[in-house]
Amino acid sequence: MRSLLTATLIGLIGAVAGCANDPVYMECPPDSVQTPACKATLEAGMDDGMGGVIGEDRSSLVLPVKPETVDDAAARGMRAAALGVDVPYVKVGDIEVEVEWTITNLTAMDATALIELNGATEYFAYDPSLIMLSNDEEAPPTPGLDGDVPLHIGPNAVLSGLFREDQIREASIDIEQITRANVNPFAATLTINKNDLQIQPLTAYDPLMPDVAAVPDLSKPAIPREAFAQMIRVDLVFKPSAHMTLEYTVRVRDVRGIMADKLMAASAADLTVFAPAVFALMVAPGA
């Protein structure tokens, strides 16, 4: 869905040679600012030149992970066979991710802005715009993984914040629940799951029987925490009510030592090319 990107290391020249828990900061390169794949600066809320307003802007950053070794792949395959479930290459706990952001209000008026966090594991990409659980016009839209809370930005003001490591970990597990275990997106995102030790798959949602609650599908084994997939792609949606910009950087702590040595400046041969399936669920018209 998104292309593999080049990233630059800023301010931490010696980080690659340091401790595995030393954070490295990455940002989209300047030449990607105008591409749909990754934007270091998002901008929205301005006149589109045709009598309307550009309501949102999007960005995506794939983390630079080095290819899996033959030995690691063999060990992972043996563990998956023992557990009876797929075990991902990049698991929850292998890396820790934070997203730092700064919003600038470019107008002389009070306004609000929303930042929606989504993303992808190596298995699935989560985009709530592709998931519609009801045809009821008054039904709430499918939620993002995090964010989407109105932030007040004063005239010409600047506001900074971040999605913390525990929030990204929670988002990773929410993706697992929604995609591999059939958990309703509202249930997944409205409960705290970051410390869960396993996920029991549920029966699949039936749009023709929306009032029938899903129940544990005991024909499928529970997914243990050691098989939880970590987000390897960070997606942001920026939705301001007035002309604003959003600048962001992604910080990664490489706990397991699987990040590419040169980060996204590495050659294609030194990077894992992830191909997550796009998770989509649309209620049939009239259902």
> Which of 11-20, 30-39, 61-70, 186-195 has the weakest average pLDDT?
11-20
φ, ψ of residue 47 to 5 degrees: the values are: -60, 135
Q: Is 74 exposed, middle or buried (0-12, 13-18, 19+ CB in 10 A)?
A: exposed
Query: What whole-number distance in Å separates Cα of residue 33 and Cα of residue 39?
Result: 4
Angle value at C-alpha 24, between 20 and 30, nearest 5 degrees: 155
Helix (H) / strand (E) element for 83: namely helix 70-83
Give buried/exposed letters for 135-157 (b at 16+ CB in 10 A, else e). Answer: eeeeeeebbbbbbbeeeebeeee
Q: What HEC string does 142-193 produce?
A: CCCCEECCCEEECCCCEEEEEECHHHHHHHHHHHHHHHHCCCCHHHHHHCCC
Q: What pLDDT digit, counting tens, does each position of 122-144 carry?
A: 999 999 999 888 777 788 889 99
> Which of 20-34, 57-71, 172-186, 235-249 has the weakest average pLDDT?
20-34
- String of DSSP letters for 66-82: PPPPHHHHHHHHHHHHH
> Which of 26-30, 84-88, 136-140 has the weakest average pLDDT?
26-30
What is the band of 220 on the pLDDT scale with cuts at 50, 70, 90?
very high
User: What are the extents of the domains in the chain?
Assistant: 8-282
| pTM for this entry | 0.86
More confident site: 137 or 77: 77
**Considering Cα of 187, then 190, then 194, then 196, what sign does the dihedral take?**
negative
Q: Are 40 and 27 in contact (CB under 8 A)?
A: yes
φ, ψ of residue 226 to 5 degrees: the values are: -65, -10
